[in-house]
Structure 1
Amino acid sequence: MSVKQNNLKSWFKSGTPWVWMNAGAVSIAVIMTLGLMMVIAVRGLGHFWPADIVEADYQVPGESVRVMAGEITQIEEVPRARLAASGLPVTAEGGEFMTRELFKVGNREVFGADFTWVVGEWLSNPRTPENLTAFERREWGNFYGYLINVKENGQLVAEGDASWSALQERIERVEQLHQQLVRLEKKDIGRINAGLERIRLQTRKLELQGELDAVAQAELDAERAQWDAEYKVLETELIALNQAFNRDSVTVKTVDGREVTLSLGKVVRAFQPNAMGLGDKLGFYFAKLWEFVSDDPREANTEGGIFPAIFGTVMMTLIMAVIVTPFGVIAAIYLREYAKQGPLTRVIRIAVNNLAGVPAIVYGVFGLGFFVYVLGGSLDRMFFPESAPAPTFGTPGLLWASLTLAILTLPVVIVATEEGLARIPRAVREGSLALGATKVETLWRVVLPMASPAMMTGLILAVARAAGEVAPLMLVGVVKLAPSLPLDGNYPYLHLDQKIMHLGFHIYDVGFQSPNVEAARPLVYATALLLVLVIVVLNMAAVYIRNHLREKYKALDH
C-alpha cells in the first residue's frame, strides 16, 4: 500500500471528513435559512414603500386607446401562445415571450377590481405626474386620481392649488375624530355594555335561585337606570362625532375623466408618491410600518395593522408557559427522583417521548372535545347557569387554546427537565443529605436550582413550537377577526373565555382565504416575518433567563 493510500486511510479514520461534512451541512442550512428570511423580509417590508403611480396609454389591438394609472406590483414574461390562449388578440409576430405587468389600479367602485393584468408591449407613453394622488381608504381599497376640490357639508371650501393643504388639514382632523370614536365605542360604551350584561346575568341568576324579590329587583332597576342614563349622554356625543366625522368630502377625477366624490370619513391618508422626495418616502414608510404593528386590521385583514394578532399570540404563549412549566417540572421530578425505575416507568417515558410526535391537529381535536365541550360545558352548568343557553366557557377561547398548547408542549418540558435532573452529580445530593437536609429540601434548594437551565431549555423549545402552531388553534379559540383584546378595563379584566387572533392563523387566513389575493400576498410575507421576530424575542428572553441561572449556579457544578 502506498504512502498516499495510508495517509488517506488515516485521514478517514481520524474523522476529519465527517467534521467537514457536518460543518458544510450546517453552513448550507444557515445560508438557506438566511436566504429564506431575506426573501420574506424584502417582499414583506417592501410592501410599505410608497411606490410611484404610473399613468400610461394602453391600447389592445383593434380597440381604442384608454388611459390607466396605478402601481406596478409585478412584471413577468409569459409565452405568447399562453396569452393567445387566454383570448387576447396576440399575433404570431415577434418573439416567443411577451411581458405581462400587474397593475394596482384601485378605484374598485369604478373598475370593479383593484388589480388588473396588462400586456407590457401594449403600454405606451408612461409618465408619473406629481399631482396624481393616492387615497388610502378604510374600506374599498385605494383610489387614484387628481384632486379637484374640497367640500364641507357639500359647500366648496378649496379648489385648485389650495385643495392639497385643505385636504391634509381635514384628514388630520378626521383621524383625531376617528380615535375619539374608537375610544368611545371600545372603552366607554364597552364598559356600559359590560355593566348591563352583568345586571342581566345577575337578574337571571336570582330568578333561577328564587331570590328575585321586589327589593332585589328595585336595586337592579336602579343600577340599570344609572347605566342607561350614562349611555344616553354617550349616545349624544357619539351622534355628534359621527356627524362631524362625515362632514368633509373631496372631488377626485380619475385618469379617464370621471369625477367621483369621496367622503373623508373613509380616507385614512392621501399622498402623492410621485412628488415625494427620499426623506418624505422614508417618513411615510416608517409610519406605515408602525401602523402595521399597532393598528387593527381592515378590509378583510388585507389593510391596516395586526396588533390584535400580535397581542393574542404573545398572551396565549405566556399563559401556556405559566401552565406547562410547573406541570412539566413536577412530572419530571416524579419520574427521576421518586418513581421506581422499572418497566412501568420505562413505558411512561416511551409514552411521553411518543406524545412529542403526535400531530398537532390531534391535540386540537382533544382540546375541542375535552376542554371545550366536557370541561367548559361542566363549568357552565356549575357556575354560569344564568348564561344558558349561550356558553361562557363551553366555547373555544383563550384559556382552552393555552391549555391545548400546554398539553402539546408538555412532553418537551418533561424530557428536557428530566435530562437536566439526570446531569446533577449524585455526590451533590448525598452531600446535602449528609448535612441534615431532607430530600424535599435537597430538591428545592440544591437540585432544582442546578437543573433550572435545563428547565428553561425545555421552555424555550415549548415556546418556539407553541407560538408557531396553527392547526389546533383553529378548533379551540383562534378566529379570523377579534379586534377586542382579551385584556381590558372591564371586570374581570383578563377574559379567558374570549376568542383571540393569532399571527399563524392570520397568515393562513390572508394567504388562502382572502377575497383579494393580490392585495393580501405581500401581507403574508410581512406577517410571517413578524411572527418569526415575535418567536425570536420570546426565545431570547428565555435564553437570557437561562444564561443568568446558569451563571448563578455554575459554582455548584464544580
Structure 2
Amino acid sequence: MNAVRNNDRWRWLTAGAVAVSLLAFLLLIVLLGWQGLRYFWPQPVTLFTVQQPVGSTKLLGEIAQQQTVSRQQLVASGAELPANLPENVTRYLIKTGNRDFSEADFHTVIDSEITGREQPGEVIALQRRSGGMAYGWFDGLLENGQPLVASNMMRALQQRIKQTRERQAQADNIRRVSMARLNSELEQLALQQRQLQQSKQYTAQAESIHQADSAELQRQFARKADQLSGLNSESESTVLILRDAQGQQHQLPLSQILAAWYPNAMSTGEKWQHFLHQLWHFVSDSPGDSSGDGGVFPAIFGTVLMVLLMSVVVMPLGVVAAIWLHEYAGNGLITRLVRIAVVNLAGVPSIVYGVFGLGFFVWLVGGSLDKLFFADSLPDPTFGTPGLLWASLTLALLTLPVVIVATEEGLSRIPKSLRQGSLALGATQAETLWHVTLPLAIPAMLTGLILAVARAAGETAPLMLVGVVKMVPELPVDAVFPYLHLDRKFMHLGFQIYDLAFQSPNTQADRPLVFATALLLVTIILALNLLAMALRHRLRERYRRLMNS
C-alpha cells in the first residue's frame, strides 16, 4: 500500500513538473509574441501640444510606453517640476521618428505638460530602409525635380514605391548574379594567367587569347554596370515631400521608403492587411543600412543552413563513436576514460569551442588548405578565414557529446536476445548491427539530433569567432559555381538578437525587433524539433513490434 502511495506521489510530482515547464514555455511564447508582433501592427499617431519652459512645442508620434510614476521618482531623475504637480503622474515615451532631421526619435513628456492632443487622419507614416520611421504630412512628389500631379496622390505614391522596389530588385539581381558571375570569371581568367606564367607556358598566342577573353568580360561587366547605374538613377529620380510637426518640409528619396500608410485613417481590415505585409517583409527581406531596418531573411537562411550542415557532420560522427563505445570497445580502462571525456566535453563553455574552432579549423586547417590548393590567391585567404564551414564544424564538435550519449543510451535499451537471435541464425556481427541494432536505435539517434539542433541553433558566442557577422553582401548560396560557398561568412539570428539588444545605436527603437527576432528563432528551433520528433515517432511505431517480440 505504501509503495502504491509513493508511486502516486512521484507520478503527481512528475506531472506537476511537466505542467510547470509547459506553462513556462507558453508564457515565454506569449511574452515574445506580445512584445514582438505588436511592432508590426499599425499604431495610431498622435499630435501632442507640449508646454515647456522655453514655450509651446508640438510632437508627432506613437506612444511607445506609458507608465505612472511618483513625484519623488521624477525629482530623483533631476527633472524640473512645477510646484502644483500631483503625487502621481503619467509619463509618456513618444516615438517621434525623423531621426535624420530631428534631435532624437524618442521624447519623454508627463501628462501635466500636455496641453492638447489629437490624431489627424491625414498624418502619414513612412517605413524607411535607413533612419527608422518618419511621420508627418504628405505634401507631394517630385519627379526629376518637377512636381508630380495626380488625382489621387496616395495611389500615385504607392505605385511609385512599387515601381522603385521593382527597379531595386532588378538592380540587386544584376549585382548579385550577373556581376558576381562576371567577377568570378575574371578572377578565374587572372588565375589561369598566373598559372601559365609560373609554368612558363604563357606564349604569345595564350596572351592574345587571354586579352580577348578579358576584354569581352570587361565589356559585359561595363554594360551591366551602366544598366545598374541607370536603374539606380531611376530609383533616385522620385522624391517625397514630407512636412513635419513644426511645418518644415523635407525631401525623402523614394528609394529609401519601403511602405507608406495613413495610420489614423485605416480600417480594421486594412490594419490586418498591413500587419501581414509587414510580417512578411520582416521574414523575407534583406536588412537595410543598419540591423534594425529591413528584414532578417539572410539571418534565417544562415541559421537553417548552418544547422543542416552541422547535422550532416555530427550525426555520422556521433553514431559511429557511440557504436564503437557500446558494441566493440568493451568496458576497459580506455573505454571508461573516453566516456568520462565525452561527459566532460558536454560541460565545456561554448566560447571555448569557439576559440578552438578559430585556432584549429580556421588558422591550422584553413591555412593549410590555402597553402596546398589556393596558393595563387594568397595572401588573400580562401579557407583560412572564418566562414560557414568552420562554424558548422565547430558546432558539430560542440554537440557531438549529446549525440554520442543519446545514441549509446538507445543502443543499451535494445534487448540482448535480438542480437543473440540474429547471431544464432548465422548473421555476422556487422550484419546484426546494420539490420537489427541500428534500425531499433534510430529513435534514440533522432533524440540526440533534436537536442543537438536545439543547442546549436541558439549558440552565439562561438559563432562570433568562426564565421558569423553583422551584415553580409551576399548569401552563401547563389547562382555562381560551386553554388554553395562554404568559405563565406553568414548571418545568424542569435547574433542578430545580440547586435540589436547591445550594439544598436538606437536600442529603444530596436527593442521590439529583439523580441520579434527571438520569437522567430524559437519558432525555427521548434519547427526543426517537431520535424525530427515526427520522424522519430514514425520510426518508433514501425519497430515497436520487433522490440516486443
- Fold equivalence (TM over 0.5): yes
Residue 128 (structure 2) aligns with:
137
2:438 matched to 1:448? yes
Match of 2:101 among 95, 100, 110: 110
Contact preservation (8 Å) 2:128, 2:293 = no
**Deviation (angstroms), 1:158:** 2.1
Per-residue Cα deviation, 1:263-313 (whole angstroms, up to 9, x for no partner):
212211211110110011111100000001100012411021100000000
Residue 21 (structure 1) aligns with:
13
Residue 463 (structure 2) aligns with:
473
**Deviation (angstroms), 1:211:** 4.1
CA distance in 1, matches of 2:443, 2:242: 63
**Deviation (angstroms), 1:213:** 3.7
Say which is worse superposed, 75-84 or 324-333, in terms of deviation.
75-84
**Deviation (angstroms), 1:226:** 2.0
Residue 50 (structure 2) aligns with:
58
CA distance in 1, matches of 2:178, 2:247: 45
**Deviation (angstroms), 1:80:** 2.2
Unaligned runs of 5+ in 2: none
CA distance in 2, matches of 1:374, 1:257: 62
Say which is worse superposed, 29-38 or 498-507, in terms of deviation.
29-38
CA distance in 1, matches of 2:297, 2:232: 25
Please list, as runs of the form range in 1=range in 2, the aligned pairs for 1:50-89 lying within 5 A after superposition.
Answer: 50-60=42-52, 62-89=53-80
Per-residue Cα deviation, 1:107-166 (whole angstroms, up to 9, x for no partner):
12321322222223211321111111112222222221111222211112227x742222
Say which is worse superposed, 11-20 or 256-265, in terms of deviation.
11-20
CA distance in 1, matches of 2:35, 2:460: 22
2:393 matched to 1:403? yes
Q: What amino acid sits opposite 1:137 in the alignment?
A: R
Q: What amino acid sits opposite 2:481 in the alignment?
A: Y
CA distance in 1, matches of 2:226, 2:384: 37
Q: CA RMSD in A?
A: 1.8
2:148 matched to 1:151? no
Match of 1:278 among 248, 259, 268: 268
Unaligned runs of 5+ in 1: 1-6
CA distance in 2, matches of 1:31, 1:417: 30
Say which is worse superposed, 17-26 or 70-79, in terms of deviation.
17-26
Question: Per the alignment, do residues 436 and 266 of structure 1 end up closer, same or farther by CA in structure 2, a change over 3 Å counting?
Answer: same
Per-residue Cα deviation, 1:360-390 (whole angstroms, up to 9, x for no partner):
1111111011000111111111110011101
Contact preservation (8 Å) 1:52, 1:274 = yes
2:307 matched to 1:332? no
Say which is worse superposed, 475-484 or 211-220, in terms of deviation.
211-220
Question: Per the alignment, do residues 18 and 447 of structure 1 end up closer, same or farther by CA in structure 2, a change over 3 Å counting?
Answer: closer
Question: Per the alignment, do residues 413 and 211 of structure 1 end up closer, same or farther by CA in structure 2, a change over 3 Å counting?
Answer: farther
Contact preservation (8 Å) 1:100, 1:120 = yes
Match of 2:379 among 385, 389, 405: 389
Per-residue Cα deviation, 1:216-251 (whole angstroms, up to 9, x for no partner):
333333322221121122122112212211111122
**Deviation (angstroms), 1:13:** 5.6
Contact preservation (8 Å) 1:11, 1:17 = no
Question: Per the alignment, do residues 213 and 341 of structure 1 end up closer, same or farther by CA in structure 2, a change over 3 Å counting?
Answer: farther
2:420 matched to 1:436? no
Say which is worse superposed, 77-86 or 443-452, in terms of deviation.
77-86
Q: TM-score, normalising length from structure 2?
A: 0.96
Q: What amino acid sits opposite 1:124 in the alignment?
A: T
Per-residue Cα deviation, 1:319-370 (whole angstroms, up to 9, x for no partner):
0000011111111111111113212211111111111111111111110110
CA distance in 2, matches of 1:435, 1:185: 64
Contact preservation (8 Å) 1:324, 1:413 = yes
Match of 2:176 among 170, 178, 186: 186
CA distance in 2, matches of 1:398, 1:392: 12
Q: TM-score, normalising length from structure 1?
A: 0.94
Q: Equivalent residue of 1:150, what SS?
A: strand
CA distance in 2, matches of 1:250, 1:477: 40
Say which is worse superposed, 476-485 or 278-287, in terms of deviation.
476-485
Per-residue Cα deviation, 1:1-24 (whole angstroms, up to 9, x for no partner):
xxxxxx9xx599634334333333
2:412 matched to 1:418? no
2:192 matched to 1:222? no
Q: Equivalent residue of 2:339, what SS?
A: helix
Say which is worse superposed, 24-33 or 457-466, in terms of deviation.
24-33
